Amino acid sequence: MPDSQPRPPEGATADTTALLLRGARLADGRTVDVRIAGGHIEAVGTAGSLTAPGPRTSPVPRIELDGYLLLPAPAEPHAHSDTALTADAGPGPGPATTGAAPDIQRRAVEAALLQLGHGATALRSHVRIGDVQGLGAMEAVLQARRSLRGLTDLTTVAVPRLLTGVAGADGLAMLRDAVKMGATVVGGCPDLDPDPTGYAQAVLEVAAEHGCAVDLHTDGDDPARLARLAAMSGGLRPGVAIGPCGGLSRLPHDTAAHTAGRLAAAGITVICQPQGGCGGVERRGIAPVQLLRSAGVRIAAGSGALRDLTNPVGRGDPLEAAYLLSSQSGLRPKDAYGSVSSAPREAMGLPEVRVEAGFPAELLAVRGEQLSAALSLAYSRIVIHRGRVVARTNAVREYCDSTAPSTLELPRQGRADAGP
Ligand SMILES: [Zn+2]
C-alpha cells in the first residue's frame, strides 16, 4: 500500500530524459512501445518494434509495462496548497504554526507530492491573500513551486477576500502585487463580497490588465449573477473558470439549462468537485455534470480540500474524482477520465497530451487492462513528467491460505489491483 509520506523516487534528479516504455496497453486496446526523448513522445509503435533512442553514453532506462494501461497524465485544476494537510494539526500553537510561511511551504510540497503520486503532473492551487497573512502564504507556495520544479508544475491562483468598498482598495492593491510576485491566475470568492458583481468585475479587470486567467469560487445558485458574469467575461483570454457550482443542481431544470447555455456561450469552464468541496464555498453538492455537458459547457473536475478542516479525509486523487463522475454522475469512463486530464489541461492553458509522437510526455501508467478497471482499482501507478519517471507506487496484496495453521504462511500473492 502507498506510503503516507510522499517522497520523490531515488534517481529522480538523474539524467533520464530518454526512456523506452515497452508493452503498454492503450485505452483503445492496442499494445505498444513508446519512445520518449527530450520531454516529448518521440515514437509510438507496435509492441516490440521500438529500440532505445539514438547513441548515448549511458544506457536508456526501459520500463516493462506489461499489464499497465498508459494514459495522458491527470492535471489537478483545483487545489488549496496553503490549507492542505492542516486537519490533523491538533491542539497547540494552532494557526500561528499552520499559518507560518515555512509550514505552508512544507505542506504545499507534501500535498503536491501526494497528488503527483496519484498522477497529477500539473496543479493549480488557490492561495488566500490579504488579512493578517498578507502575501506570506503566496510567497510560501511560490517557493514550494520552485522546489518542485522538474517533479510537477504548480501554478497559483491569488484569492483576495474583499475587492469593493473601502476595504476593497487594499485587496485590489494586494491582488496586483500577488500577480507581480508570480500568481498566474486571478481568483476569489465573489459571493462573500458585499458586492459580488463588483468583485467579479474587479477580478476580470486585473486579469485583463495582466493577461491572466480567471478562476472564481461560486456555489452557482444565483442564475442572475452567473448571467452577469457570463456577459462580462465573454471573450476574455486566456479564459474563465468557475466552480464548484453545486448550487446549479438545486435550481429548477429549465433555469439551470438556460444558465448553462449562457456559460457555454461565454466559454466558461465549470470545475466541479465530486470529492466534497473546499473551504472557498460553504455549501456542498456536485454540479449537474450531464446538464452542463449537454449545454456545451466544458467540465473539469478538481479535488478541492486535501485533509483540511473542510474535508479532513480529502485524498486529492484525480482518479477518485473520475470514479465519482462515472459512478455518481453517470459519465462514461472515457469522459470521466477526460474531466481529470484533457479538460483541466485545456482550462489551465497547458498543451494537449495524447499518447502519440510529438506530444508532451506527461503520462500515467496504471495497473489494469481497461479504463473502467483502472478507475475501479488503481493502486499501482507510474507517473511520468517531462519524460522522466517522477513517482512510482507498487501495491502488493497477499491472501492467507485458509488451511494453513499460521497466518505467517502467505502462499498466494499478487498485485493488489490485479484481483485475487
Ligand atoms: Zn476551492
Rounded to the nearest whole angstrom, what is the distance from the C-alpha of residue 279 to the centroid of ligand 1? 6
Check whether 4 has a pLDDT greater than 80: no
Rounded to the nearest whole angstrom, what is the distance from the C-alpha of residue 230 to the centroid of ligand 1? 20
Q: Give the residue with greater pLDDT, 52 vs 189.
A: 189
Of 330, 351, 331, 260, nearest to 298 by C-alpha is: 260
22 alpha carbon, distance to own chain's centre: 27
Rounded to the nearest whole angstrom, what is the distance from the C-alpha of residue 277 to the centroid of ligand 1? 7
- pLDDT for position 120: 98
Of 379, 353, 358, 387, nearest to 74 by C-alpha is: 353
- Mean pLDDT, all residues of the chain: 90
- pLDDT for position 55: 62
Query: Quick count: other Cβ atoms within 10 Å of Cβ 48?
Result: 10
In tens, the pLDDT along 27-56 reads 999 999 999 999 999 999 999 999 876 666
What is the arithmetic mean of pLDDT over 227-251?
93
Query: Which helix H or strand E contains 363, and what residues bound it?
Result: strand 363-367
pLDDT category of residue 76 using cuts at 50, 70 and 90:
very high
Rounded to the nearest whole angstrom, what is the distance from the C-alpha of residue 47 to the centroid of ligand 1? 43
Cell of 182: 508570480
Cα gap 87→101, rounded to integer Å: 17
Check whether 230 has a pLDDT greater than 80: yes
- pLDDT for position 52: 73
Give the three-state DSSP class for 323: helix
Rounded to the nearest whole angstrom, what is the distance from the C-alpha of residue 161 to the centroid of ligand 1? 13
Rounded to the nearest whole angstrom, what is the distance from the C-alpha of residue 33 to the centroid of ligand 1? 39
Give the three-state DSSP class for 377: coil
Rounded to the nearest whole angstrom, what is the distance from the C-alpha of residue 195 to the centroid of ligand 1? 20
Q: Which residues pair with 299 in a beta bridge?
A: 270
DSSP string, 159-220: E-S--SHHHHHHHHHHHHHHHHHT--EEEE-GGGSSSHHHHHHHHHHHHHHHT-EEEEEE--
My answer on whether omega of the bond before 244 falls inside 30° of 0, hence cis, is: yes
Cα gap 236→322, rounded to integer Å: 29
Of 133, 122, 184, 132, nearest to 158 by C-alpha is: 184
Rounded to the nearest whole angstrom, what is the distance from the C-alpha of residue 18 to the centroid of ligand 1? 37
In tens, the pLDDT along 380-391 reads 999 999 999 999
- pLDDT for position 59: 78
Check whether 245 has a pLDDT greater than 90: yes
What is the arithmetic mean of pLDDT over 285-314?
95
What is the arithmetic mean of pLDDT over 178-190?
97
What is the arithmetic mean of pLDDT over 318-347?
97
Rounded to the nearest whole angstrom, what is the distance from the C-alpha of residue 379 to the centroid of ligand 1? 26
In 70-99, which positions are buried (b, 16+ CB within 10 angstroms) versus exposed (e)? bbbbbbbbbbbbbbbbbbebeeeeeeeebb
Rounded to the nearest whole angstrom, what is the distance from the C-alpha of residue 315 to the centroid of ligand 1? 14
- Yes or no: say if 259 and 248 are a contact pair by the CB < 8 Å rule: yes
Check whether 137 has a pLDDT greater than 80: yes
Rounded to the nearest whole angstrom, what is the distance from the C-alpha of residue 398 to the centroid of ligand 1? 39
Tell whether the torsion through CA atoms of 45, 369, 380 and 318 is positive or negative. positive
Cα gap 77→318, rounded to integer Å: 10
Query: Can 19-72+353-398 and 76-347 be said to share one CATH topology?
Result: no
In a 13 Å sphere around the CA of 55, the CA atoms on its Cβ side amount to 0
Between the alpha carbon of residue 229 and those of residues 28, 124, 275, 397, the distances in Å are 39, 22, 26, 50
Task: Using a pLDDT cut of 90, give the percent of the chain over it.
Answer: 79
Cell of 275: 470529492
What is the arithmetic mean of pLDDT over 12-37?
86
pLDDT category of residue 417 using cuts at 50, 70 and 90:
confident
- Yes or no: say if 154 and 148 are a contact pair by the CB < 8 Å rule: yes
What is the arithmetic mean of pLDDT over 289-311?
95
Q: Which residues pair with 272 in a beta bridge?
A: 301
- pLDDT for position 409: 54
What is the arithmetic mean of pLDDT over 158-171?
94
Check whether 90 has a pLDDT greater than 80: no
Q: Which residues pair with 213 in a beta bridge?
A: 185
- pLDDT for position 8: 45
Residue with cell 455534470: 289
Which CATH homologous superfamily contains domain 19-72+353-398? Urease, subunit C, domain 1 (2.30.40.10)
Rounded to the nearest whole angstrom, what is the distance from the C-alpha of residue 237 to the centroid of ligand 1? 22
Cα gap 160→166, rounded to integer Å: 14
Give the three-state DSSP class for 99: coil
Rounded to the nearest whole angstrom, what is the distance from the C-alpha of residue 209 to the centroid of ligand 1? 24
pLDDT category of residue 282 using cuts at 50, 70 and 90:
confident
What is the arithmetic mean of pLDDT over 191-212?
96
pLDDT category of residue 10 using cuts at 50, 70 and 90:
very low
Rounded to the nearest whole angstrom, what is the distance from the C-alpha of residue 304 to the centroid of ligand 1? 5
Q: What is the pTM of this model?
A: 0.91
Check whether 274 has a pLDDT greater than 50: yes
Polymer length in residues for the chain = 420
Rounded to the nearest whole angstrom, what is the distance from the C-alpha of residue 85 to the centroid of ligand 1? 14
Query: Which helix H or strand E contains 23, and what residues bound it?
Result: strand 19-26
Rounded to the nearest whole angstrom, what is the distance from the C-alpha of residue 346 to the centroid of ligand 1? 19
Rounded to the nearest whole angstrom, what is the distance from the C-alpha of residue 245 to the centroid of ligand 1? 11
Rounded to the nearest whole angstrom, what is the distance from the C-alpha of residue 122 to the centroid of ligand 1? 16
- pLDDT for position 133: 84
Q: Give the residue with greater pLDDT, 401 vs 191.
A: 191
Cα gap 293→335, rounded to integer Å: 10
- pLDDT for position 14: 40
pLDDT category of residue 316 using cuts at 50, 70 and 90:
very high
Check whether 408 has a pLDDT greater than 70: no
Cα gap 69→364, rounded to integer Å: 8
Give the three-state DSSP class for 145: helix
Domain range annotation of the chain: 19-72+353-398, 76-347
- pLDDT for position 160: 97
Fold for 76-347, please state it. Answer: TIM Barrel (3.20.20)
Rounded to the nearest whole angstrom, what is the distance from the C-alpha of residue 302 to the centroid of ligand 1? 9
Rounded to the nearest whole angstrom, what is the distance from the C-alpha of residue 194 to the centroid of ligand 1? 19
Rounded to the nearest whole angstrom, what is the distance from the C-alpha of residue 363 to the centroid of ligand 1? 26
Rounded to the nearest whole angstrom, what is the distance from the C-alpha of residue 80 to the centroid of ligand 1? 6
Rounded to the nearest whole angstrom, what is the distance from the C-alpha of residue 281 to the centroid of ligand 1? 7
In tens, the pLDDT along 250-262 reads 999 999 999 999 9
What is the arithmetic mean of pLDDT over 304-320?
93
Cell of 133: 497573512
The single-letter code of the amino acid at 186 is V
Rounded to the nearest whole angstrom, what is the distance from the C-alpha of residue 187 to the centroid of ligand 1? 10
Check whether 92 has a pLDDT greater than 90: no
Rounded to the nearest whole angstrom, what is the distance from the C-alpha of residue 128 to the centroid of ligand 1? 10
Rounded to the nearest whole angstrom, what is the distance from the C-alpha of residue 56 to the centroid of ligand 1? 46
β pairing state of 240-244 and 269-272: parallel
Rounded to the nearest whole angstrom, what is the distance from the C-alpha of residue 311 to the centroid of ligand 1? 11
- pLDDT for position 400: 85
Across 75-79, 163-167, 230-234, the highest mean pLDDT is recorded for 75-79
